């Protein structure tokens, strides 16, 4: 009985040993296969690194505003008697915009004018009589004072009547009228907006660190959403002498010629200020640069020699680079990359150092130095 048990245990041990041995052998074979298995090549797009002139620019945003602009309003209350303009009309300084009813004030003026004329006659008459010593000098002095007082009344009343006429304070372009004939206007009620459109100003801010790079007369360019990638050229005309204590920014004003009146007060715009002299840098699409905890990385493609089939063996190698400023879709590489090296521009997210690659440049990422995110067209 014991002998049979021993034989059974030996048989079971042999069976289990065979099973575990086969499993260990299989694992070793799989590990050896995986160790010799090459990763499939990744498809990437590339470009050859080359230098291009790089003009340093300062970028900001801001708003356009008129050199002269105001909402024309009544200084006094009254009834609208006449409207002297059409919507969207160009006017000259002094043109009548709105006339308020002023009949009572005109009648009062005529009364004062009559009194002034009477005072003048009295003064001139007494001035002749004093030569004959028939009246005292004090009477002549009194007549002169009365005449001047009457003239002052006339001037004061005329100034009041002028307030019933709303006139253009400067040359400009009118907006849409806000009043109607016969309407009662309270003092201060706006009747229409008047804006001077050519030239037009643009106010924007830059960090105080940029102050040493700015000067009056410096060229600037601006774009607005309404006109896509069209650029407008202007010049810096003023730099604020005060730095904002919260943002540490300084306000700059540029002036743009605007003969076509495409630029309007209140428009939001993107502005770039050209600074310094152009320099030659390697310019890459921003998609070519990968950011990791150790710095900025690009992948460079090299040929490790022909394979058994005679075809090139392309591999991607990491290179740490130093980048500069960006412009549009591009970024400047200032250090770490050589002219002529083939750089991966897309598809690098699946790459490791030494990964095999296949180049397919049928589709390339955007590489426009003048691209505007707000105006993709």
Same domain flag for 104 and 182: yes
Q: Which portions of the chain are predicted below pLDDT 70? A: 1, 11, 13-14, 16-18, 20-22, 24-26, 29-39, 132, 306-310, 370-377
Same domain flag for 132 and 104: yes
Number of domains in the chain: 3
Of 258, 274, 290, which closes a domain?
A: 274
**The Cα angle at residue 225 between residues 222 and 231, in degrees rounded to 5:** 30
213/228 Cα distance (integer angstroms): 28
Phi-psi domain of 234 (left: phi exceeds 0; alpha: psi -120 through 50; beta: other): beta
- Read off φ and ψ for residue 36, nearest 5 degrees: -95, -5
C-alpha dihedral (177, 182, 187, 189), degrees to nearest 10: -20
Element housing 149 (H / E): helix 137-162
- The predicted pLDDT at position 220 comes to 93
Same domain flag for 183 and 115: yes
Of 229, 251, 274, which closes a domain?
A: 274
The CATH number of whichever domain residue 200 belongs to comes to 2.40.30.170
- The predicted pLDDT at position 38 comes to 62
- The predicted pLDDT at position 196 comes to 92
Same domain flag for 179 and 88: yes
- Is residue 26 one of the residues assigned to a domain? no
Closest-CA residue to 285 (of 238, 332, 223): 332
71/337 Cα distance (integer angstroms): 58
Same domain flag for 221 and 295: no
306/67 Cα distance (integer angstroms): 69
Would you mind telling me the total number of residues written for the chain in this entry?
377
C-alpha count within 13 angstroms, C-beta hemisphere, residue 249: 10
The DSSP-derived string for 87-142 is: TT-EE-TT-EEEEE--HHHHHHHHHHHHHHHHHHHHHHHHHHHGGGT-S-HHHHHH
321 within 8 A of 297, measured Cβ to Cβ = yes
Peptide bond into 199 cis (omega under 30): yes
318 within 8 A of 296, measured Cβ to Cβ = no
Query: What is the residue range of 46's domain?
Result: 42-56+279-359
Structure tokens at 162: 């002028």
Same domain flag for 110 and 185: yes
- Is residue 290 one of the residues assigned to a domain? yes
- The predicted pLDDT at position 205 comes to 94
Same domain flag for 117 and 172: yes
The CATH number of whichever domain residue 98 belongs to comes to 2.40.50.100
32/18 Cα distance (integer angstroms): 21
Structure tokens at 84: 């002297």
Same domain flag for 216 and 291: no
Query: Order of strands, edge to edge, in the sheet holding 172-174?
Result: 69-73, 190-195, 172-174, 90-91
257 within 8 A of 232, measured Cβ to Cβ = no
Same domain flag for 228 and 141: no
The CATH number of whichever domain residue 355 belongs to comes to 2.40.420.20
- 18 contacts: CB under 8 Å, gap ≥ 6: none
Residue 351, burial from CB neighbour count under 10 angstroms (0-12, 13-18, 19+): buried
Same domain flag for 283 and 233: no
Structure tokens at 104: 């009572």
Tokens 């490790």 label which residue?
A: 304
- The predicted pLDDT at position 25 comes to 66
283 within 8 A of 54, measured Cβ to Cβ = yes
Of 189, 209, 241, which closes a domain?
A: 189
203 within 8 A of 62, measured Cβ to Cβ = yes
- 269 contacts: CB under 8 Å, gap ≥ 6: 61, 62, 63, 64, 202, 222, 223, 224, 263
Q: What is the pTM of this model?
A: 0.63
285-336 per-position pLDDT tens digit: 988 898 888 889 999 998 887 655 557 788 889 899 998 888 778 888 988 8
């Amino acid at each position: 009985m014991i002998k049979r048990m021993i034989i059974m245990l030996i048989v079971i041990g042999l069976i289990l040993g065979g099973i575990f041995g086969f499993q260990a052998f299989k694992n070793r074979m799989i590990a050896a296969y995986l160790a010799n298995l090459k990763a499939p090549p990744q498809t990437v797009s590339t470009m050859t690194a080359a230098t291009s002139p790089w003009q340093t620019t300062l970028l900001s945003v801001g708003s356009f505003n008129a050199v002269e602009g105001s909402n024309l309003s009544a200084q006094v209350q009254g009834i609208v008697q006449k409207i002297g303009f059409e919507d969207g009309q160009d006017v000259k300084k002094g043109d009548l915009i709105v006339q308020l009813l002023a009949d009572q004030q005109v009648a009062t003026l005529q009364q004062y004018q009559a009194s002034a004329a009477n005072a003048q006659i009295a003064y001139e008459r007494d001035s002749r009589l004093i030569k004959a010593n028939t009246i005292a000098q004090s009477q002549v002095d009194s007549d002169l004072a009365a005449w001047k007082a009457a003239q002052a009344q006339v001037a004061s009343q005329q100034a009041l009547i002028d307030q019933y006429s709303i006139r253009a304070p400067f040359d400009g372009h009118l907006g849409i009228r806000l009043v109607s004939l016969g309407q009662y206007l309270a003092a201060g009620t706006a009747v229409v907006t008047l804006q001077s459109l050519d030239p037009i100003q643009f106010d924007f801010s830059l960090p105080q660190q940029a102050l040493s790079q700015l000067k009056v007369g410096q060229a600037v360019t601006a774009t607005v959403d309404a006109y896509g990638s069209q650029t407008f050229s202007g010049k810096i005309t003023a730099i604020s002498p005060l730095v904002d204590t919260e943002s540490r920014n300084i306000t700059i004003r540029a002036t743009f010629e605007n003969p076509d009146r495409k630029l309007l007060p209140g428009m939001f715009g993107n502005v770039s200020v050209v600074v310094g002299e152009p320099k030659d840098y390697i310019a890459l699409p921003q998609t070519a640069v990968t950011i990791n905890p150790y710095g900025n990385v690009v992948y460079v493609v090299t040929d490790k020699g022909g394979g058994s089939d005679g075809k090139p063996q392309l591999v991607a190698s990491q290179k740490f680079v130093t980048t500069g400023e960006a412009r549009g879709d591009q970024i400047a590489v200032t250090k770490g990359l050589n002219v002529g090296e083939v750089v991966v521009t897309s598809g690098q997210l699946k790459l490791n150092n030494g990964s095999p690659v296949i180049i397919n440049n049928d589709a390339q990422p955007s590489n426009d130095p003048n691209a505007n995110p707000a105006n993709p067209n």
